[in-house]
Chain A
Amino acid sequence: MVDRIADPWGPRTPYGPGERWPVRVDTFLADGHTEADVQRWVPSASILHSNGDAMDIAVADDRIVGVRGRSGDRVNHGRVDPKDLYGWQANHSPDRLRRPLVREGDRLVETDWDTAMGRIVARSRELLDGPGGWGHFGFYTSGQLFLEEYYTLSVIGKAGLGTPHMDGNTRLCTATAAAALKASFGTDGQPGSYTDVDHCDAIALWGHNVAETQTVLWMRMLDRRRGPNPPAMLAVDPRATPVAREADVHLALRNGTNQALLNGLLREVIHRGWYDEAYVEAHTLGFEELCQVVEDYPVAKVAEICDLRAADIERAAELLGRSERLLSTVLQGFYQSNQATAASCQVNNLHLIRGMLGRPGAGLYQMNGQPTAQNNRECGADGDLPGLRNWANEEHIAELARLWNVEVDRIPHWAPPTHAMQIFRYAEQGSIKLLWISATNPAVSLPDLARIRRILANPELFVVVQDLFLTETAELADVVLPAATWGEKTGTFTSVDRTVHISDKAVEPPGEARPDLDIFLDYARRMDFRDSDGNPLITWTGPEEVFEAWKECSRGRPCDYTAITYDKLRTGGIQWPCTDEHPDGTERLYTDGVFNTDPDYCESYGHDLATGAELLPEEYRAKQPGGRAFLHAAAYQPSPEVPSGEFPLLLTTGRTVYQFHTRTKTGRAAQLVHAAPESWVELNPADAEPLGVGEGDLVRIESPRGVVRARARICGVRRGVVFLPFHYGYWDAADGAAPGEGRHDRAANELTITAWDPVSKQPIFKVAAVRVVKEADSGGRPSPAPTVGGSAPPEGSGIPATVGGPAAEAPSRGE
């Protein structure tokens, strides 16, 4: 038995390069159940992060009683993340929404589905009537629905209502991954495979605390590190995360300077001849300009900008430059920071100039954070077009119009799709009048929350919220629709490395809660959307029909699903593209060095990285990419907000291994709550000391936008930087403050700045100027921060270790 709270990564199963990762099956069954009690094992995968770990849901007496990792699945070889081991218990939480709610004055009251949907449809018809009616509708979706739900909503929005105002919280999460992949390689789609961990000789983690965000991927990396001929490891992160502690080289750079660091590293790699001239010549465009731009970033200058030691930068360059099979992963430390797309493109550049793509071990993951973010991008319930099509390519729009049998100009292709922050701005200005939010909680997760609450609470804005619980956002809604969740509905979703899994329905949802797909289909039926021949636009009745329709939409595109079936998925995950020629899927993209940059095929004609200015189709064609990848160069520019005398510290926000997003689920599973019950703030000893702040003291963190109170953990975050977890909102705050009333001093996003990357439009959560003021003494009580992960206190601190005890014990069984 393993206490997976005390040890989130479980026992090691070391292996060497080129060997198969050993199987280790993790199981957790609650309430004293044993495997003998389980009546059904239902195939599924993780819904609490992006790794796509396959598992079976244990069912006894029509109730979920636990989960078990699938030993035969290519992604996890049986392992399960602690959030997944315990998080499913939230399904049974007594405060699940069971009936629809509608607003009566200042109260939400229970009602039936007819009344709730009737109100939405009445308001929709009223708004749609008249020129420009489409522009009154905004949809804010998620990274946690299923493929079938995204695709259905995408068709409703684009071919039914005809609105460009549809985006997902994926904008906060992986918009930069998509933008960087499109910019460098022509389309979205991860080049690498998780099996690259099995083969690599070096791993570089760029702003990616994988140990806490995708624990199973970290287990795979750790197992290589403990085996023979382990890969070298580089971590770029301002915090002393478990990854940073494990790495051979840790660059704890100043927040917001990623672009300067990468320019310096690329310059070193080029100067020292560690690039692949033949690959650059045959498969890339822009090398000369890249050389010119990075020339301005000698190591000494970069050391100054990033506040690093020159020798460490040189060691990092050597680790990268001398590797023969380099694996890189990129996440929020880049995506949610200054110059997000530009810096992420430089990681692509590193792999391109070193020819580190398309072969075992030479891999690149522009990571996702959420479990189904990839599907939102593929299906277009965010700012993308279904099938990774190009908004500016008229033939791509015409393909969709034929597929859906609607007029081309019903599909809103005349301007760039509206990104999330702009949708909220239109709502603020009053031109968006109906905002439909599904499976996400912007009242905690968007920047500058005081403003977001003001927008959502405006009586002129009709807000629909579709969720499992009465979240901080749902409390401000006009109509709340109770949704079914994982285990209560069927659908598919896709991991970072393009592995598609099915998640089957195991049990009935509580009360009158319905699958999100059924809710969207019901809306389409009631709105009576029609195609060009006057037939119903949407004729699907269940998930498998939608999946079959989606396959047609994906045909011939990079994310080709045409040879995948539900039955095939029930035997294990499959990587797209999966076609008649490649019926078992495709492990790696770009094995031949031919990229998706053909003008007729690419997903974007490109942007200027500094401003986001769109390039025109003819300019793109003139480059004659001919299947070559683009090396995009950019100078370093300081963040929009830098420390000042008044706000001398830099705030960064992030995650703990025990919680997911705004804790809607993980905050309702006892083991996870116990491990990370309350927010905290991390300070470097050198910053804490002059403020008179010690471990556990209550401090106030202030930015020009708001105030947060939390107890201090004195630990290994870099000097000058303050860290807050972004998970904590108000539904379970100690003083019971609800949105619109009481104190708002718990959520990290009270402090963050409303600013975003010019290309990916991803908000900048990692760079806000703040000051810290001590409010009260600890009274000897340590901070509630876990002792596991990035918030680990220094050794010998005497702070009691985070443990789960008997309630968290779970077997991990080797082969």
Chain B
Amino acid sequence: MWLYSLIFYLLAAVILSSTLLAITRRNLVHMVIYLIISFFGTGLLFFLLGAPLLAALEVIIYAGAIMVLFLFIIMTTPSEGDQEKLKGEDPTCQSCGPIRLLHTGLPILLATTLLVVAGLFIFADPEIRVALNPAMASPAVFGRFLFERYWFPVEVASFLLFVGLVGAWYLGRDGLGAGSMARVPQSEEAESENRGEA
């Protein structure tokens, strides 16, 4: 049981510290990397608490799909994070060797801790497996439960995802956002420039 507690405290420390680091980053790509570490830790925590299917879904949906979507939007929008600059993050600073070491060392430390915890899961002695097994809800049992007891909310959730898809398409289609609204002032500017030249 002490290994169980050790894994929990390690995971809690990794999740909390990486989330805290994520929300204080200026660079949004660094923020995404820290959050991916945090979501991997959360997935391991779900596994520890007896939800293997949700652990897989956490990694696939949160760390995979949602974070890649964020990364995509961060890459396509001009970097607005530079405007929120705080002091102490000057890249040309000479005396920030330790700080820069911390910046590269912390993600490595967090990721290594996660790997060690995952290794503890895989190579844990049989005793621990026995301690964890009674609480474990296998994906088959959980899926059967979900579609027997909660079939209607599942349908509602699928409809919600469909509405989200249509909403995202509607907001992102040509002629609504970046298209027409940005084009009108640009053409006016071009016209005024032409008039000025004339």
Q: Do A and B come from one complex?
A: no
